[in-house]
Amino acid sequence: MQIVSIEDFTRQSFDFLVIGGGTAGLVVASRLAQDGRFTVGVIEAGGPVNGREDVDIPGYFGKSLGSEIDWKFRSAPLAEVGGKTLMCPRGKALGGSSAINFMTWCRASREDYDAWEVLGNPGWGWDDLLPYFKKSETFHPPSPAVQAEEDIRYDPDSFGYSGPIHISYTTHIPPRHRLWSNTLNSLGVKTNSAHAAGSIAGVWTNINNIDPRTMTRSFATNYCALAGSDLHIMTQATVQDIVLDKTSDGYVASGVRFIHGNQEYVVSASREVILSAGTIKSPQILELSGVGNPEILSRAGIAVKVESPMVGENLQEHKAIHAIVEHDPGLENSDDLFLDADFAAAAREQFARDKTGSLAHVFGHYAFVPLARYIPQDTLDKLCSRVQALTEFSAEKKAILEERLRCTDKRGQIEYIFKLGAGRLAESGRKLATLYQILQYSFSVGSVHIQPAPSQREDPVIDPGFYQGPTGELDLEVMLESTRFAREILLAPHMSSIVKQLVHPPASFYGDDEAMRKWIVDHTGMAMHAVGTCALGGHAGVRGGVVDERLKVLGVESLRVVDASIMPLQIGAHIQATVYAIAEKAADMILQDAARQQ
């Protein structure tokens, strides 16, 4: 990893400049530098974090949230919940959010990516992206003994075996895993034996980006080893804006203005500037550069260079709530790592000795369940009628959203995760477990925009749009129906053998729809899966998005966006693996375009 001084960075001549050394940024930069023909610069606000225990050790997942390597964004105050703000963690480090996330590695269903093509974005369907999923990963199969003992099922042909990111099933799957699978099976949710092969629906054992050779997090900094001396990384540097030069036809990106050590610098790129600052920062940087909605820019005192009304719009985020239950005190609990000093010391010693035990794994009890599997047909029909009545969406988008509701077997409207532990809600002397319920396909959308003048260079205004208007009302009804199913999971015969009491919400709430609606609204959070704020425009062009199918910013030459913000529709999966695939595909496209220009 070639981190350079400010003097060396500003003296260098760059072909490409990448804004953001996060998940997507390091992939693109490393692949371009690996080509051997180009000099690539990366500008990152954070610094290196390899070697930190809260990054490397799997069992410490979540510990770095709120630390100095987290941007610590919060949403704008939400009127629906009395002005409360929501946490919106994002990695501020080399590796970005891949350094602080929970190491979940999964792909959405084929239909989710094919929907991007339906909206008018050729080359972005499942068949186009699958090679890039594989290119990013090295899959380590479980041992035959673990596979047989724990009934782990997967399709070996779905994975890659030579990529920079090492992925694996945990080597330590506790007995409760079978309990989770048996519970979901008893409720009609089948075990998915090929959960990475184009259909995520069902219950399955999760894969994590953990290198089983070292039992440590495998993340985006691994890519830097590909790059050699043509990659130059500037850390602790905050980008102010993109330098846009006026031409006879419009504007062309020629460089980047940034702050390092309280001093402003400008560096140039002879070929392209690549914006990879993520769903929250990328639209902010575009707006600060004069690309965006004229009304937003005017309020911030920014001169309009390129009118692009969808910059910062179309924010889509998975809505997450969690029920807390009390469980059998005889079971090991992840909270013991933080509440029981003796247990924590023993776990730390065991991990140091042989890389096993509680610190060597993360939770892996997942289920993606189609809504149509557990709600009455007349309720489903009413929900679909309300979708068709929405005026916010095009006919093709409404057709996609309705199909997602009616789907019975290919993708899950709701994700359920079970974990023995309650994290921030843990209580000393009490064994608590968490059932997470995460809405995958939200109807409501939000926005991310710069602050009004004179504070436009502060954190952007993040409005998740939760439960607002007709689309938000639809989300609330889906969450209500899904909460009923969550109760069925907790009270099913297998699960009830360890669940002793419903704690949060209490059992009495489940019979009162109004009380449950209020509880859902009051306790919904953001799932760290925000997408869409610089989306592929598709058929609608600049009125529907920000970039074209080559990820070029509409209306600006030599500028692309490469990160989660380009997704036009949210996917039904954790987004990490998809971001890697997007970046791998983007790198190929950029190299192809460069070859045509020579």
Distance CA 143, CA 251 (A): 56
8 A C-beta contact, residue 363 and residue 406:
no
The model's confidence at residue 593, banded by pLDDT at 50, 70 and 90, is very high
Alpha helices, DSSP H, located in 187-339: 278-288, 294-299, 336-339
Choice among 223-237, 452-466, 534-548 with the minimum mean pLDDT: 452-466
- What whole-number distance in Å separates Cα of residue 28 and Cα of residue 20? 10
Neighbouring CB atoms inside 10 A of 307's CB total 14
Q: Which domains does the chain have, with CATH numbers?
A: 141-215+316-526 (3.30.560.10)
Q: What is the pLDDT of residue 339?
A: 87
Residue pair 583/28 in contact (Cβ under 8 Å)? The answer is yes
265-297 in b/e burial notation, b at 16+ Cβ within 10 A?
bebebebbbbbbbbbbbbbbbbbbbbbbbeebb
Residue 239 marked ligand-binding? yes
Average pLDDT over residues 457-477: 93
CA distances from 64 to 249, 420, 489 (A): 46, 20, 31
Catalytic residues: 529, 574
Cβ–Cβ < 8 Å for 242, 289: yes
**pLDDT, averaged across the chain:** 94
Extract the tokens encoding 102: 């929970």
Q: What's the full length of the chain, in residues?
A: 598
Cα–Cα distance between 585 and 574 in angstroms, integer? 19
The per-residue pLDDT for 589 is: 98
Q: How confident is the model at residue 157 (pLDDT cuts 50, 70, 90)?
A: very high
Write the pLDDT tens digit of every residue in 505-546: 999 898 899 999 999 999 999 999 999 999 999 999 999 999
Question: 425 or 75, which is more confident?
Answer: 75
Contact 344, 337 (CB under 8 A): yes
| Tokens of residue 49, six digits | 């974090």
- In the chain, the amino acid numbered 425 is L
Residues 416 and 437: beta-carbon distance below 8 Å: yes
Maximum mean pLDDT: which of 304-318, 355-369, 413-427: 304-318
Give the mean model confidence (pLDDT) for residues 366-384.
94
pLDDT digits (tens, 9 = 90+) for 4-27: 999 999 999 999 999 999 999 999
472 token code pair: 């938000």
Query: Residue 103: pLDDT above 70?
Result: yes
CA dihedral for 54, 1, 559, 14, sign (positive or negative): positive
